[in-house]
Amino acid sequence: MEEAFLHFIWKFQQFKRRDLKTDSGQKITVLHPGYKNTDAGPDFSNAKIKIGEIIWNGNVEIHINARDWNRHNHQNDKAYDNVILHVVWKNDASIQRKDNSAIPAFELKNVVDVQLIRNYNRLFEPGDDILCRRFLDKIKPITIYSMMDKALAQRLEIKSEKIFREIALTGNDWEEITWRMLCGNFGFKTNAFPFFELGKSLPLKILKKESQSLKTVEALLFGQAGFLEENLEDMYFMDLAKEYNFKQKKYSLERRLDKHQWKFLRLRPANFPTIRIAQLATLIANQTNLFSLFMDFESVSELKNSLAVVQSSYWLYHYDFGSKANTQTGKLGASSIENILINTVAPLLFAYGIHKDQGELKEKSMELLTSVKPEVNSITKKWKVFGNDAKSAFDSQALIEIYNRYCLKKRCLNCTIGTEIINGR
C-alpha cells in the first residue's frame, strides 16, 4: 500500500459512502474532501466534514498506519493543530494533538472496494516505463485526448515560467527576450547554451541599427561568438574581423564566448554552428521586428516563408572560415523552421497570452502546434509502438510531457489515463 494511493482514494472519495464512522463510533459525512496541499503541512486543506452533529472546517492528514503520526513528529508541530480528521489505512494507534485533544480517525481498509486495489496493483506491475501501455487499447479516446490537452497546457506553462524569469533580466523587453529565445533555438540542443549566451551578449537593438548591412550583422555575431580571433588568409574573414573590431569599440561590447565553446563533433556540416550563425544573421537582417513577426502572423505558411532564409553566398560554399565545401550547404531547412515554431514561437505566444490575460493568444499557440509536423524522437516512438501515433506537434509535445512528467515519475494517480484504469471505467 502506498500513501499516494490513499491520497487518490480520499481525493476522489473512492470508498463506500454509507454508514461511515470514526474510531469512536461517530458518524462521518464528507461534505468536501479539501484541496491537495503541495507545500509543507497536512495533506489536504480546507476540508468540510460533518462528524456527529458538528460540521468541521479544517485540514485532513493521511497515513498508511495511524502510528505514522507520531513517527513523523506531527504531535509537536503546530501546523497540524487544525487537523479535523486523520484518514488511515490501518488504525493502529490513538492520536492526539499537541494539546492532548484526540483527533478523530477514519479507517479505510474495510470501506475500499477490493477491485480498486486490484486495478491499482495491476497498473503498477513492474515493466515498461509507460505503465499504462497494456491498457491503452481499452481507454476511451476522450480520456487520452483530455490528458494530452492538460499535459500540453502544463508544458507551455512551464516554458512560460522560464520566459518570465528571463524577461525580468531584460527590463520586461519582449523584443529582447524573443531574440534570446530565437538564438537559443538556433543551437538546436547541441549548441543551445552558447547560442543563448551569444544572444545575451549582443542586444537586438544594436543589430536593428546595423540591419541594413548583412556583412555587419555577420561581423557582430561571429565576433561575439569568438570566431574572429584567428589569423586567416581569407579575405571574407579579414573583412568581418576588421568590421567587428570597429563595431565592438563603437558599442562597447563585451565578448562572452570563445570558439572552443562551440560543438562541431558528430554534427552534420549543415548543422555546424557557423552555418547556423550565418542563417541567423540573414534572418535578423531581413526581420528585425521578431516579436511582431511571431505575434501577428496571419498564417503558418506565411510565417514559415519569413523564416526560410538563405545564408550569404560565402556560407553557401563554406562550412567554416577558410574551408570550402564540396557541395552547397543549403538553406535553413523545413524541420529546423518547424523546430523554431515549436520551441520559440508557440511558447512566446502562450507566455504573452498569460502576460496580457488574452486567451486568444494561448489558443493561437496551440493552434500553431496543430499545424506543425510532430517531432520524431525516442519518446514519440515509444508511444507509437503502443498505438498512440502523434499526428502533429500538438500531439508530440503533449506525449513528451506526459512521459516526462507522469510516466517516468510513476505519477499515474495524477494522470487521467491512470485514474481511468484504476477506476475500471
21-50 tens-digit pLDDT? 999 999 999 999 999 998 889 999 999 999
Q: Is the Cβ–Cβ distance between 285 and 217 less than 8 Å?
A: yes
CA–CA–CA angle 380, 385, 390 (5° rounding): 40
Residues contacting residue 28 through CB under 8 Å, at least 6 positions apart: 20, 21, 22, 49, 50, 51, 85, 104, 106
Residue 327 pLDDT: 83
Would the pLDDT of 411 be above 90? Answer: yes
Specify whether the CB–CB gap between 26 and 52 falls below 8 A.
yes
The C-alpha cell that represents 37 in the structure block: 496541499
Is residue 163 within 8 A of residue 348, CB to CB? The reply is yes
Please choose, from the candidates 109, 131, 108, the residue with its C-alpha nearest in 3D space to the C-alpha of residue 121: 131
> CA of 420: how far to CAs of 56, 93, 120, 142, 410, in Å?
31, 34, 10, 11, 15
3-state secondary structure of 38: coil
Chain segment 206-263, per-residue pLDDT in tens? 999 999 999 999 999 999 999 999 889 999 999 999 999 999 999 999 987 999 999 9
Average pLDDT, the chain: 94
Task: Provide the pLDDT for residue 88.
Answer: 97
Helix axes of 141-167 and 359-370: crossing angle, nearest 10 degrees: 120
Q: What mean pLDDT is predicted for residues 268-288?
A: 94
Q: Average pLDDT in the 390-402 region? A: 97
Tell me whether strands 83-90 and 54-65 are parallel, antiparallel or unpaired: parallel
Cα distances (angstroms) measured from residue 282 to each of 64, 216, 226, 287, 300:
62, 11, 19, 8, 20
60-98 residue pLDDT tens: 999 999 999 999 999 888 889 999 999 999 999 999 887
Residue-wise pLDDT tens digits, 171-197: 999 999 999 999 999 999 999 999 999
Residue 329's pLDDT is: 81
Instruction: State how far the Cα of 18 lies from the Cα of 170, in Å rounded to an integer.
Output: 59
Mean pLDDT on 373-387:
93
Give yes or no for residue 425 having a pLDDT over 70: no
Look at residue 204 and tell me whether its pLDDT is greater than 70: yes
Averaged pLDDT for residues 131-154: 94
